[in-house]
Structure 1
Amino acid sequence: MNKKSLALKISEELLEEIEKLDDSIANILLKIKRMALLLGDADAQNWIDLELRGYPQKFYFESLGNCKKYAIQGGRINSETNKYYLQSLPEFEAQASLNNNILTNLKLPNSISPSVSSSNQYERPGDTISSTIKNTMKNYYQHLENTKTNTIFYIKIFNSIKGAIHNYVIDTYLALQFGDLNEKFFDENRTIVDTFIRTQCPKAVDQLLALNDAAQKNEVEYLSHAMTSIRRILLTIADYIFPPSNVDYLDKRGKKRKVGPEEYKNRLIAYFEINQSLASSPFYNTEIDLIASKIDFLYEKSCKGIHSDTSRSELNLIVIQTYLLIAEIALIEKDKTDKSKIAGIPDSDLT
């Protein structure tokens, strides 16, 4: 079982445990911290650790990162005043339990024994007894009211923070389920793409490996290598699906497009236009234009020695977009092959 699968299993168990609360909140928090560790969620690890041991006198909730919203949801912090409770969640649990026990066992005294002697010569014994009973009753009801107020407070804040923690576990559970679904979906389609590249465009394998090596290194010259690799991959794919020609391609708008060896973008657009009925998106030309323009932009930046976090993130995005474009082509080619098998048409006769 990999880390994400284990984290998903733990999140399912946690939802049931939090809702039933058969275990102590401290043990539940430790389990949540373990789940956050498996997911590499540093913000959650920090937040849960503070809920376990309490908050310092001086604390900036911005340090909780993405988990600050849960601290606000649970009432741990007042977002308007920035005031917050210092006690740990297990302390709130213990105090709520203690006050509840006190409240349960709080009773009027079985007997009241007032002093019948008084320094006041005018005070009668009956008055002393009556006064004592009144004071005892007053103290009892005051103590009862204070205990009720404290019990309600501790239970309220405990349940509120517990609810926020429950929200975090639900959000994590849903994200993991969605990720698991996406992973299965991408695995299935990755097999199709891998088969397409291996059998139809084996030259692209070395280019993809070169792209991967370049993309792993966060240096200016490697960004340039990565852009070159992407360009070569698209050229290789275009050579297979729409070989270069000296004859211009007339698109459906009546515009002539050059489709020579270097016009890979026009050849890709022509391919999608011809196979429009099999394509999943009608905006293929916009997508190809976007990828091509990004390649040119990042290549120019890298050649000028411009390097930043933005360049790195843009590179990651264009790698994903390029892969998705290849996936679209691979699915079209698979669909064509499947249809030819059903119809008994040789692959060589397909256009």
Structure 2
Amino acid sequence: MSGPRGTTAPPECEQRRSVLGRQEEAIRVADELLADMELKRLKASEVVLKASRLARLVGHTELTEFLGLERSGYTTARSTDVWIGRAGRWADKEESTRYTESIAKVQARVESVQQALEALRGGGNYSGDGIVTASRDHDTRIIQLSSALGTWTGICAQVVAAIYDVVAEIYHELLFSELQASLFADTQEKIDGSLAAASGTALDKIERVSDRLRDGDPESVSQALTTCRRLIDSCADYVFPAREEPYAIGDGVTLRVGPQQVLNRLQAHTHACGASKNRRNRLRRTLSDLYERCSAGTHAEVPVDEARFVFLQTYIALGEILTLKVSDGGKL
């Protein structure tokens, strides 16, 4: 979470910004690469190089392996068979013979064969007794070169197609991840602002929770959960200060809202804000479970992974409550 205003952002914030920066760059590269392949703006060997940058940005192990083989050439190891198949590099699968040249060499073969065919395209000037044989040899040569061109261009096309499938998958995953990050960042900004207004030390409490959960030892986890409980207390004091008289929530039901009735006061606040009954009940159940779990965590050992989720759920639930506004018909 972000630190209090006016302070230097903690290392995890800088790390998160770095990760988001890499993600934005990865989205840009993936988008460009998909367009390059769709519009055939790059040769297969150039596609491999550009895709290598994307694989490095996102840390995609399988794509990195595939592109490494395409750059350096294949071995006869059976572990590469899956990529041999996807790249259309089987010469004879039953005999396990394959085309192992790097994509750069395959591309060079394509260009060489194209030049040879261009040279033969005009036909030959034959005369004398060998005209029939020479003409037949000429046609045979064209057929051989055309077959070779089909093989090499087929490999290039298949390599690009295999890369396209993986890059398209990465691109859509990145877009979904970016949407999640954007939604979370927007929500976090609202919650942090509300927490800062609720208590001058609320964000300090959050930083202490984060530090203790990073430590991971049982005592630190227990202290972190205690801090979560105190954070709930301080928010209740802010949105609905304790009072002696009960609070009526309708249908003849009243809530005691004294200093010890923390959860009742939070429930009274959601009612005063005009939240629907279903929403009020959901928040009441959520905070009741969290408050109980935070209290139990001070006496029993709680796994650090569970404690982290308790903290995140507490942060989000309080954020939802703090961003509610008192309706015109409600009163505190």
Secondary structure at 1:332 match in 2: coil
Q: Secondary structure of 2:149's partner? A: helix
Change in 2 beyond 3 A, CA 1:32/1:327: farther
- d(CA) in 2 for partners of 1:140 and 1:156? 24
Q: Which residue of 2 aligns with 1:165?
A: 163
Q: Which amino acid aligns with 2:22?
A: K
Partner of 2:319: 327
Aligned match of 2:109 = 95
C-alpha distance in 2 between matches for 1:74 and 1:284: 54
CA distance in 2, matches of 1:295, 1:41: 41
RMSD over aligned CA atoms reads 4.6
Shift of 1:302: 9.6
Q: What is the alpha-carbon distance in structure 2 between the residues aligned to residue 157 and residue 144 of structure 1?
A: 20
Name the CA distance, whole Å, in 1 between partners of 2:299 and 2:101: 56
- Which residue of 2 is the match for residue 53 of structure 1? 72
**1:191-217 deviation line (CA, Å, top 9, x unaligned):** 332221112222322221111102223
Taking the aligned partners of 1:113 and 1:222, their CA distance within structure 2 comes to 98
Give the equivalent residue in structure 2 for 1:111. Answer: 126
Change (3 A) 1:350 1:293: closer
Task: Find the aligned partners of 1:12 and 1:52 in 2 and give their Cα distance.
Answer: 22
Specify the alignment match of 2:281 in structure 1: 285
Provide the rounded CA distance (Å) in 1 between the counterparts of 2:59 and 2:144: 44
Measured against aligned partners, the alpha-carbon deviations of 1:34-67 in whole angstroms (never above 9, x if no partner) come to 34434454554444333322344336479xxxxx
Deviations 1:149-191 (CA, angstroms, capped at 9, x unpaired)? 4323332332232133234444444444555555454444433
Q: 1:316 to 1:158 in 2, by over 3 A?
A: farther
> 2:210, 2:89 → 1: CA distance?
45
Aligned to 2:15: none
Structure with more contact order per residue of length (Cα contacts < 8 Å, sep ≥ 6): 2
User: TM-score scaled to structure 1, two decimals?
Assistant: 0.64
TM-score by length of structure 2 reads 0.67
Equivalent pairs, count: 307
Unaligned runs of 5+ in 2: 1-17
Checking the alignment, whether the CA contact within 8 Å between 1:238 and 1:268 is kept in structure 2 is: yes
Partner of 1:3: 22
Deviation at 1:221, TM superposition (A): 3.8
Residue 209 of structure 2, aligned match among 208, 211, 215: 211
Relative distance call for 1:330 and 1:290 in structure 2 (3 A) is: closer
1:272 to 2:270 alignment:
yes
Question: For the structure 1 residues 178 and 284, does the alpha-carbon distance in structure 2 shift closer, same or farther, using more than 3 Å as the test?
Answer: farther
Specify the alignment match of 1:37 in structure 2.
Answer: 56
Provide the residue aligned with 2:149 in structure 1. 151
Match of 2:8 in 1: none
Return the alpha-carbon distance in structure 2 between the equivalents of residues 218 and 88 of structure 1.
48
Aligned to 1:126: none
Counterpart amino acid of 1:5? E
- The answer (yes or no) to whether the contact 1:197–1:205 under 8 Å persists in 2 is yes
The CA distance in 2 between the partners of 1:251 and 1:77, in whole Å, is 73
CA contact (8 A) 1:250 1:257 kept: yes
CA distance in 2, matches of 1:262, 1:200: 18
In the superposition, relative to structure 1, how do residues 152 and 194 fare at CA in structure 2: closer, same or farther (>3 Å)?
same
SS in 1 for 2:126: coil
Verify the 8 A CA contact 1:93 1:154 in the aligned structure 2: yes
Contact 2:263 2:287 in 1 (8 A): no
* Counterpart-to-counterpart distance in 2, 1:233 and 1:287: 16
Identify if the C-alpha distance between structure 1 residues 238 and 14 changes in structure 2 by more than 3 Å, giving closer, same or farther: same
